[in-house]
Amino acid sequence: MAAERAKLELARAAAQEAARAAEQSLWRLLRAPFDAWGDEVLWQLSMFEFALDHLDDVSSTPKQLQLAFRAACEEARHPDELPRLRGSLRIDALQDALDSSSELCHELQAQLTRYKRLYCSALRGFGRFRGVSPLPGEALLALMQRTHCAALQWRPPGASPAEKLALVSKEKGVYTAEWRNDTRLQQYEDTGGVLSLRGTAGVTKAGLRRLKQLPEGEKPAQEHFTTIRAHAYQAHHIQRANALVNTFAIKRSVIQWDEVTINGQ
């Protein structure tokens, strides 16, 4: 038993020495994070902070911690643009190191404060951002997610493209087929009767008058009653031409001259 006890003490001492060496290695990485991780510095610092914030989560496996951290990163950036999250399968080891070393936690907090300020200073005045600053107690990954979601909501000034497309009546100076068809339905079906040409143009104008919030410059062009009459003539000619083509091309008579067909008939 004394020999087993001595062996266990040696193993414990070796484990403690390895833990101290790992803590010193992590401390050296945190002293110069950009030199250690390059352009992945924000993600690595976020992983350290994630491990620190989840010290009480002792029921999750390393794989579950990795998946949770990956899901949080995908909310902060487009999933296809995420770098390889190196060391994310060892978040539990980071938790042990941070839990046992106050010096490591102090250095991590100092670097997080420094890089949060750097991240915010890079975004000030960019796009529609004005003053960007971290909220009290906000994590670095939460700050990245907040600014990412805010930028996704940006759109060009003025009416949205959906609003403009919904009110287009002309393309290259010609009324669209959809607008013409809506005018025809309005003239013959929507009111339960047949409207005159002037009545159809007046109903269109009255409908657009109700769009009070729409600026005058964004209201679509309206057909004059003579334009509606010209469109009706064109539709009539097209219908007649299609009927004539259909008469010769489809409704044709074919006389069979072979003897078998004549006998069969």
Question: Per-residue pLDDT for 256 more than 60?
Answer: no
pLDDT reading at 228 higher than 70: yes
Mean predicted confidence (pLDDT) in 60-88: 90
Cβ atoms of 36 and 29 within 8 Å: the answer is yes
Per-residue confidence (pLDDT) for residue 258, from 0 to 100: 57
pLDDT at 257: 55
| Helix (H) and strand (E) counts in the chain | 12, 2
Give the model confidence (pLDDT) of 202-217 as tens digits. Answer: 888 888 777 777 766 6
Report how far Cα 223 is from the mean position of its chain's Cα atoms: 39
pTM of the model: 0.56
pLDDT at 115: 94
Q: What is the pLDDT of residue 113?
A: 94
Cα separation, 202 vs 81, whole angstroms: 54
What is the C-alpha to C-alpha distance for residues 201 and 221, in angstroms, rounded to an integer? 11
Which residues lie below 8 Å from residue 39, measured CB to CB, with a gap of 6+?
83
132-176 confidence digits (pLDDT tens): 999 999 999 999 999 999 998 887 665 555 555 456 788 777 888
Q: What is the pLDDT of residues 168-184, one digit of tens each?
A: 788 777 888 888 888 88
pLDDT at 68 > cutoff 90: yes
Distance CA 164, CA 156 (A): 12
Span 24-40, average pLDDT:
89
CA-wise closest residue to 89 among 60, 58, 57, 66: 66
Which residue ranges make up each domain of the chain?
A: 11-152, 168-249
Determine which of 111-115, 124-128, 132-136, 172-176 has the lowest per-residue pLDDT on average: 172-176
pLDDT of 159 reads 53
Nearest-CA neighbor of 264 among 129, 28, 256? 256
User: Where does the pLDDT of residue 7 fall: very low under 50, low under 70, confident under 90, or very high at 90 and above?
Assistant: confident
Question: How far apart, in whole angstroms, are the C-alpha atoms of residue 68 and residue 110?
Answer: 25
Work out the average pLDDT over 181-192: 83
User: Of all residues in the chain, what percent carry a pLDDT higher than 90?
Assistant: 27
For residue 255, what are its two tokens? 């006389």
State the Cα–Cα distance between residues 94 and 108, nearest whole angstrom: 12
Report how far Cα 16 is from the mean position of its chain's Cα atoms: 48
Residue-wise DSSP of 134-178: PPTT--HHHHHHHHHHHHHT---SSS-HHHHHHT--EETTEE-HH
pLDDT of residue 110: 93
